[in-house]
Amino acid sequence: MKKYILIVMTVLAFAACGKANNKGKEVAPKETAKIVKTDTLKKLALSKEIKTNGILNAKYEVTHSGPEAEVEKVYYKNGDFVKKGEVVLKLTDTNIENNYKTAVASLNAAKSSYEQVVKFSEIQVRTQLEQAKAAMISAEQNLIKAKKGAKSEQIEIAKNNLKTAEAAYEQAKFNYEKNKKLYEEKLISEASYIQVETMYNQSKNQVDNAKNNLELMLKGADEEDIKVLEAMYEQAKANYELVKKNVDEKSWEYTINSVKAQYDSALYRYEMAKKAYDDLTIKAKISGVISGLNLKKYQKAKPDKGPFFTVIDESKMETNVYLSTSEVIKLNKNSFAKVYIEELDKTFNGKIESVDPAANQTTNKFAVKISIDNKEKMLKKGMYAKISLFTKPEEKLVVPKKSVVVKGLYKYVYKLEGDRAKAIKVELGVSNDEYQEIITDKLKVGDKIIVDGQFLLQDNDLVKEVN
């Protein structure tokens, strides 16, 4: 018992001494290091996001119209898919259809006439030359015979010549009468008709010459008859010289050109009539969906009231957005655009199709066209789109986004200096999904920035790096 009391008293004495020694002094608590993780400050190429908006349109859509005519048949309705070249509307108009039939007949006649002229006109002119030469020789021989007097065998020859001339005349007369009717019905050209008429007149003259020659041989020629024969010879000679000149100058080429002009004119009228006729059958110019088709059978289609219908190719959509000069200059024309459709709550990848090199005079902004693939046909014409474009990438001093601490109106990052965390005030620049540009002159590439545990720090806190 005494021993226990002694131990207690000793302990109390030591305790009293300790209080006496520390009287008036406060003991500082030991500082505890906060656990942090760091990342090295670096530079990365980042793009600035440009946000804008636009209305979607189909990249390819074609309006279709036609002549004012009655609707004969409607093959599709709005919303139907149609392939390129398929008939959507059939119209009818009596005048257009009759004009086309008339143009076809006129073209066929002009073509036939042209082909005949090309094939036979040179032959005809050269034949005329041979005939004119023969007529001239015959007239000369008749004149000589008349002056000398005819023999019995010459009379027989003259009779045979008359028969031959009469047979040729009958054939020429038949051709002349047939072609005269064709010419009056405007089924052959004037040049073709004149050639046939000329051959007919020549044949008739040859018959007259042969008759006169035979008569002179039978009754004998007097002075007056010889004068007639001399005149006939001079006429035949002049005719020969004229036809020979036509051959030398290739007169058939002028005939061909004249008939060719008539053929070309008929062809032009045919093509115009055919176009009007073909326009009665309205086909889809592209594959796509029918829109704006409100015509009914027997209704009068009127192009002045607007297009008959539109075909929309929904496989690609596009929109125009308008950017300022500073944005266009920095725009990365090779980057994708992000197109967000709020009604679908979905983002689509778009592509910059073109940038207008001239600014709009009213807004002073540049039109940028963006195309979007729409293979699933989710996008529709008229949808409102929120669009993000991006500038050309530039080297920026960056930190992981999570390392930025916001306190009040200011932003900070914590730099590791030894075993202390230093709060550095920064301005923010561009960013991407992971990194944030920081703007400050107090940091440089290679500095260690605290990226984990920073939200519990104060400036100059003791830290322990556990990377």
pLDDT top residue among 271 and 168 = 271
pLDDT of residue 77: 95
pLDDT of residue 9: 41
pLDDT of residue 412: 96
Q: Is 151 exposed, middle or buried (0-12, 13-18, 19+ CB in 10 A)?
A: exposed
Cα dihedral across residues 151, 156, 160, 163: positive or negative: positive
pLDDT of residue 14: 42
pLDDT digits (tens, 9 = 90+) for 439-452: 999 999 999 999 99
pLDDT-wise least confident of 16-30, 40-54, 394-408: 16-30
Which residues, at least 6 apart from 193, have a Cβ–Cβ distance to it below 8 Å?
179, 180, 182, 183
SS3 301: strand
Instruction: Judge contact between 318 and 369, C-beta under 8 A.
Output: yes
Is the pTM higher than 0.85? The answer reads no
Task: Read off φ and ψ for residue 440, nearest 5 degrees.
Answer: -165, 155
Instruction: Judge contact between 43 and 429, C-beta under 8 A.
Output: no
Instruction: Judge contact between 460 and 448, C-beta under 8 A.
Output: no
Instruction: Judge contact between 330 and 392, C-beta under 8 A.
Output: yes
pLDDT of residue 121: 83
pLDDT digits (tens, 9 = 90+) for 114-134: 888 888 888 888 888 888 888
pLDDT digits (tens, 9 = 90+) for 325-375: 989 998 988 888 999 999 999 999 999 999 999 999 999 999 999 999 998
Domains and CATH numbers, the chain: 34-46+394-465 (2.40.420.20), 48-91+281-392 (2.40.30.170), 98-272 (no CATH)
pLDDT top residue among 220 and 299 = 299
**What is the Cβ-side half-sphere exposure of residue 344, based on CA atoms within 13 angstroms?**
15
Split at pLDDT 50, 70, 90, the class of 221 is low
Mean pLDDT calculated for residue range 172-188: 82
Tell how strand 281-283 and strand 420-431 pair up. Answer: unpaired
pLDDT of residue 8: 37
pLDDT digits (tens, 9 = 90+) for 127-172: 888 888 888 888 888 787 777 765 666 777 778 888 888 888 888 8
pLDDT of residue 18: 46
pLDDT of residue 15: 44
Top-ranked range on mean pLDDT: pick from 176-185, 214-223, 237-246, 287-296: 287-296
